[in-house]
Amino acid sequence: MAAGTGLGSAAAAGVATVVAPQPRHAPPGAVLSIAIDGDARAAAAGTADLATGEPATVAHAQDLASIGKVLTTLAVHVLASRGALALTDPLSRFLGERAGAHADATVDELLRHRAGVREWWPLYLDPAARADPLAAALRMAPRGAAGVRRYSDLGMMAVGEAVARVAGMPFADAVRRLVLEPLDARTISPSAPVADAPALTGPDGDAIEREMVRSGDPYPVELDDRGFAWRTGPVRASIADGNAHHAFGAPAGHAGWFGDARGLDRVAAAIARPELLGIAPAIAAGLREARDPEQGQGVRHYRVRWRGAERLLLGHPGFTGAFVGAAAATRTEPELRVALLANRLHGDPAPSRTALADVETLWRGALAEADRILHPTPGGRP
């Protein structure tokens, strides 16, 4: 996926916009991959680590954060297509009493964030969660009525455990067997980059989550963090998400994976063509069905302009600065895939949560610049 002329030049122009100065904290380094009709090109810009000055390259990997939710969703769809589970199954079928207050929540509701599960909770600080973090998360009373979208990390943790139970193996092994190996996405790996792969530097320890706990913003937390061994110093090649790192010590259904641009492009290919994983068309339709604005089963919906036409891009951001998305080919338009890695949590000094560049702004700007390069209008106007 080395950059060349045409598409490669467009990717290079696009990634340059990601690291360009802006009102909010710009990522020091980034990698962008764009694929049209299966032809993928990647380009990198900026700095992977400010302390050493190491340049970002297309070989760099990153903590994918919530893009892990896409991996979980694809694993569910593979199992559903094989008849091993149904999207209408209640959580109690897989977790029994561990499903707690959410025993009746269905797999579909959890994937769509409509099950009423609490958005976030620092399980690593909760004494009741030490023996079984997931059971503790699901014992908490619902936040709002079922059927109302409330984006939930905890709900996706539950889906990940359901995948593990049905597959009969640890969650990370199930995702590897069901999704990554069939896609030849071997540069996506649990907990750390694949051996010898360089990584973009991540956040300043647990500073952002520590501030979330102490401020109660954006979610109230009634837990005491005194004495907790918060991480300090830059996190690199280690899971940034506190629950995946501290509570589970491994990927869970919501986060905990690393990957490079090539690996993310393979995941984007499965979003565009779920049949690559043997996912049945009736199951795959859930990705495109939006019961809430801009939300499908485990993916978000974005409207983008490409080559003068409006496209429906299905994808998901990661809090670290990553993004993956794809628009399926139509009768008149080619398949379009995009993958972004950007170390937006890294800085000197480290940025606060409210100072971060918006991930959607970053990838949309990069894609728009690539489109301008590839498909100029008369007079050069975008």
* 76-85 per-position pLDDT tens digit: 999 999 999 9
Q: Select from 3.40.50.620, 3.40.50.300, 3.30.70.360, 3.40.710.10 the CATH code of 70-183.
A: 3.40.710.10
Instruction: Return the amino acid letter for 262.
Output: R
- And the tokens for 345? 């949590």
> In this structure, how many other beta carbons lie within 10 angstroms of the beta carbon of residue 333?
17
- Grouping H, G, I as helix, E, B as strand and the rest as coil, residue 356 is strand
In three-state secondary structure terms, 205 is: coil
Could you report the per-residue pLDDT of 136-188, keeping only the tens digit for each? Answer: 999 999 987 779 999 999 999 999 999 999 999 999 999 999 999 999 999 99
Q: What's the pLDDT at 338?
A: 98
Give residue 5's pLDDT: 52
φ, ψ for residue 71, nearest 5 deg: -60, -45
Residue 145, pLDDT score: 78
The domain segmentation of the chain, as residue ranges, is 7-65+186-380, 70-183
Joined tokens for residue 238: 């280690």
Q: What is the pLDDT of residues 244-293, one digit of tens each?
A: 999 999 999 999 999 999 999 999 999 999 999 999 999 999 999 999 99
pLDDT digits (tens, 9 = 90+) for 178-233: 999 999 999 999 999 999 899 999 999 999 999 999 999 999 999 999 999 999 99
Cα(262)–Cα(370) distance, integer angstroms: 18
For residues 294 and 314, what is the distance between their CA atoms, to the nearest angstrom?
9
CATH classification (class only), 7-65+186-380:
alpha beta
What is the model's pLDDT at position 2?
38
- Least-confidence region, from 46-55, 324-333, 370-379: 370-379
**Fold match between domain 7-65+186-380 and domain 70-183:** yes
Residue 129 DSSP class = G
Other beta carbons within 10 Å of 39: 14
Q: Is the peptide bond before 218 cis (omega within 30 degrees of 0)?
A: yes
Query: Residue 165 and residue 226: Cα distance in Å, rounded?
Result: 35
Q: How far apart are CA 346 and CA 301, in angstroms?
A: 28
Confidence label for 4 from pLDDT (cuts 50, 70 and 90): very low
Other CB atoms within a 10 A radius of the CB of residue 55 amount to 14
pLDDT on residue 380: 52
Quick one: average pLDDT of 343-352?
96
For residue 309 the two structure tokens come to: 């036409």
Evaluate whether 264 touches 339 at the Cβ level (below 8 Å): yes
- 379 pLDDT higher than 80: no
pLDDT score, position 381: 54
Average pLDDT over residues 292-307: 97
What percent of the chain stands above pLDDT 90? 96
The pLDDT of residue 337 is above 50: yes
Q: pLDDT-based confidence at 1, cuts 50/70/90?
A: very low
159 neighbors 71 (Cβ within 8 angstroms): no
State the average pLDDT for the chain.
Answer: 96
Q: How far apart are CA 301 and CA 325, in angstroms?
A: 9
Q: What is the pLDDT of residue 127?
A: 97
CA distance 280 to 194: 31
Query: What phi and psi, each to the nearest 5 degrees, are found at residue 274?
Result: -60, -20
Q: Does the pLDDT of residue 382 top 80, yes or no? A: no
Task: Look up the pTM and report it.
Answer: 0.96
